[in-house]
Amino acid sequence: MAGGVLLLAIGVWLGVDALFRGEGRTPWVALAGLIFAVPLVVAYTLRPAVYANDDRLRIRNPFRTIALPWGAVSGLRSGYSNEVFTQDGTKFQLWAVPVSLRGRKKAARRHAQQVASDDPVASRVRPGAPGVTRPHGRDAGDQAMDDLREIAERREGAQSAQGEPVVRWAYEILAPCVAGAVLLAVLLGLG
């Protein structure tokens, strides 16, 4: 998120400078570039989020918002990315829940060191085992996925958590991006 804010600040600074100090077509190209680039930066850095409550999981990815009632969720998987699967087999990625292979290795090393030091609690806990209390910590992304799995298992049969998945495109991101791309192409084409 910090990188996105930094990119926005630099882009706005350079774009506004080109708008006010530029000559000829430069202000128009800068404006078209801003209209194209700002929504993309927002979409990929600031927009992704995951919200979970007792009834549904709401995933806000760069260009779509997905609402999944817990009854429609068949599973959550962590690999090189975090994914949720629906009952009909559709897969959605959770952009906002990061996967850190370095964090996983670090947690596994820490666990192995605790087992080697004859820690009685660590020797009973297998890293990555679902539903097991982890006294020695885990990677934040893996812990978030464990929490989501727990909610899904607890609420999948609840009456208020039933329904069909709803997918909505983020036209508030797509429309200005397409408009900026068309305007930029026209300006550069006339060139």
Residues forming a β-bridge with 59: 50, 66
> Which pLDDT value is given to residue 156?
86
Could you tell me the pLDDT band of residue 121, with boundaries at 50, 70 and 90? low
Cα(127)–Cα(43) distance, integer angstroms: 34
> Which pLDDT value is given to residue 125?
54
Residue 114 has pLDDT above 80, yes or no: no
Cα(32)–Cα(34) distance, integer angstroms: 5
Could you tell me the pLDDT band of residue 126, with boundaries at 50, 70 and 90? low
Q: What kind and span of H or E run contains 133?
A: none
Residue 130 has pLDDT above 60, yes or no: no
Task: State mean pLDDT over 150-161.
Answer: 89
> Which pLDDT value is given to residue 52?
94
Task: State mean pLDDT over 66-74.
Answer: 93
Could you tell me the pLDDT band of residue 127, with boundaries at 50, 70 and 90? low
Neighbours of 8 (CB within 10 A): 17
- Which of 52-61, 73-82, 112-121 comes out lowest in average pLDDT? 112-121
